[in-house]
Structure formats: structure tokens, C-alpha cells
Structure 1
């Protein structure tokens, strides 16, 4: 049985799922962390962890964030775009798509540092009517956003903000938040996430 948590169907998704599966097993082994302990720390069910490690699940970005935080890592560690040497080059074919919207939108994790104090660089594309919701990141997490095309509506807690093309924003995202395209054109934005380890 394959558990679908995110909307993805292509070969890139399979490659990402294989990398996530292998990396979580590796890091859990290195940290001598049982499935029960990881489940308790992350709030992710043991059954879901078994499915992820068995490469039978397609975990959402929010779920990967919870697992990374619980393990003192970054999502970039899981998908192998975390820079460890002085310089790490990441080819276009190595950049994973970690979310696909129902209308063709996408979220690509371009690069990131290794956790627990991590910084990630994302590129998002939202088509009209698409929304991505996040339950919130660990306390103190901040995001820097720059809209290259279209208009992005950012909701943090119960307040919404409109960010037009060419404009930027800084947001504390340790509360529930969402990125929405309520306009008529494509919204393209770059986002940097900064999260301090526990």
C-alpha cells in the first residue's frame, strides 16, 4: 500500500522518496534513535515512519520539517542538498521538487545548510487558486520572501499580507501560516528559511 501525503507522481518524486527513506534510516542509526523515540519526538506515528523508511509514503514538507527538527537536522539533509564542504555545487537535476500543487505549482528546495541550525533556500511557483498551508515551524523560525512575478498572499496566524512582484517580506513562521495565490497570474517567489536548533 502506498500512502499519498503530497501530490506528486513523477520520477523526481520517486528519487526524493528514496533519498528521504535512506537518509532517515542512516541518521536514525547514527543517532541510535528507535522508531518509537523518533515518533515521540516528532509527533509522527510509528506506522507512518515505517512507511517512509520503506519508501512507501510520500511525506509532506510539514512532516519532513517535523522529522528534521526532532533529529536535529534540516530537510536539506534528507534530500541531499545540504552543503557540508567549503563549497558544494548542486546540479539542476539534483534539485528536488518537494511539493506539487493541484494546478501545476511547485516548491523546490534549491539548497540548504545541515541542521540543526539551518538555512534553506526555496523556489516556489503558485498558480491561481493554489494554497500551501504549514502548521508552523519550531519557535524562532524566520522566513525571508521575495516575489519575482505575480502577487503572493501570505497568511500568518489570522493576519494576511499581500506581497507584490519586486517586493519582499520577513515573517516569523513559528505559527500556522499559508502561501496563497488569489490573483489571476502565476506567483513566483524565493524563500529563505532560518531555523535555530533546539
Structure 2
């Protein structure tokens, strides 16, 4: 079985388990996540490899991090995530990419990401649930962080925090790659 097959199977199993724990029907989850019922059926039956955006919407609707949705093994006390198990969820031909390094579910989803943005590239994000916060630390280059239409320059060695329940994005307007680490904290579902 390939890594993609493992991820597809894990996503199917974890999505269905969490949906049932919360007592959501497929229709209810579809409405809550803004994803079609048909897509949810395909995901739960491990018949599709959904986009990162779809996985994020479903995770937000379930109050789960992407890490937990894609986790092969659930809930060890200490979890080591070797480099080869980190999940690259977004990439471009020019070499930009984001990699989910690790995550936990206490008290709500908390994710740790590694990002690389090549010159001239960027990534936009829809608003996350109310109460979601992000932190970024730029280790190389200069990031252009946009939060609700306002741009912020974040040079190497600088960190930024913001509430990400509004449209936001990351862009590299410079001539060298931007390397950054990001955390996303999503509140527990009510």
C-alpha cells in the first residue's frame, strides 16, 4: 500500500468515526462543512483524494486538525513523527510547499506546519472558525502576510500572530525563498 493509500484509508476511517461520535448525518456534516454529501461519501469510502481545502473544511466542521484526520494511529501518549511521515499537502511546480509536521487535539486542534514559498508565489486561505489563531516564524526570506486585506512584512527572524477567522494569505514578493514555521490553533467544538 502506498503512502497516499494509507492517507486515504486513514482519512476515511477517522472522518467516519468522528462524524458518528458527534452524531452528524452526512447531510448535516455536508451543510456544516460546505462540502457536498457526495464528496463526503467518497471520502468515507476511500474512493477519492480530496483537496487540502476540502480536508480543512471537513476538519474545521468536525473540530479536528488535519493531522488527526490523516493520522494512521490514534492517540498515543507520546507521538514521534519522523520526517518521512510528515504530510506535504500543498506544492507548486516552482518548489513552494507546505508540510504538516505534527498536531494534537487538546483542548482543540493544534497543528505545526513547515512552509516554503518560492519567489512570486503565495497561498490564500478562507477564514477558519471563530477563535482560530495562527503563529508564523520566518527563518529565511521576507514573508508578505495578508490578513483581512492588510499586508504585513515579516522578515527572517520575526514572528507574527493573528486571529485567522478572516481571509488571510501568505506571499513571497522577494527574490529568495521564504522558509517559515506555522502553528494553527482551532477551538474545540461547542
Smaller-chain TM-score bracket:
0.7 to 0.9
Number of corresponding residues: 188
Cα separation, 1, equivalents of 2:5 and 2:147? 32
Aligned residue runs from structure 1 range 1-198, under 5 A: 12-80=3-71, 84-114=75-105, 117-198=108-189
Q: Which runs of 4+ in 1 moved over 6 A?
A: none
Conservation of the 8 A alpha-carbon contact between 2:63 and 2:109: no
Conservation of the 8 A alpha-carbon contact between 1:69 and 1:116: no
Q: How far off its partner does 1:177 sit?
A: 0.5
Cα separation, 1, equivalents of 2:91 and 2:75? 28
Which has the higher mean CA deviation after the structures are superposed, 185-194 or 71-80?
Answer: 71-80
Question: TM-score, with normalisation over the residues of structure 1?
Answer: 0.84
Q: How far off its partner does 1:83 sit?
A: 7.6
Deviations 1:113-156 (A, max 9, x none): 12661211100011112211111111121111100111111111
Q: How far off its partner does 1:62 sit?
A: 3.0
Secondary structure at the aligned position of 1:58 is classed as: coil
Deviations 1:64-94 (A, max 9, x none): 2221122232211111189833311112211
Q: Please tell me the root mean square deviation across aligned C-alpha atoms, in Å.
A: 2.2
Conservation of the 8 A alpha-carbon contact between 2:140 and 2:177: yes
Which has the higher mean CA deviation after the structures are superposed, 185-194 or 18-27?
Answer: 18-27
After superposition, the Cα gap between the structure-2 partners of 1:142 and 1:121, relative to the gap in structure 1 and judged at 3 Å, is same
Secondary structure at the aligned position of 1:144 is classed as: strand
Q: How far off its partner does 1:18 sit?
A: 3.4
Question: TM-score, with normalisation over the residues of structure 2?
Answer: 0.88
- Return 5+ residue gaps in structure 2 as ranges: none
Conservation of the 8 A alpha-carbon contact between 2:10 and 2:72: no
Conservation of the 8 A alpha-carbon contact between 1:74 and 1:115: no
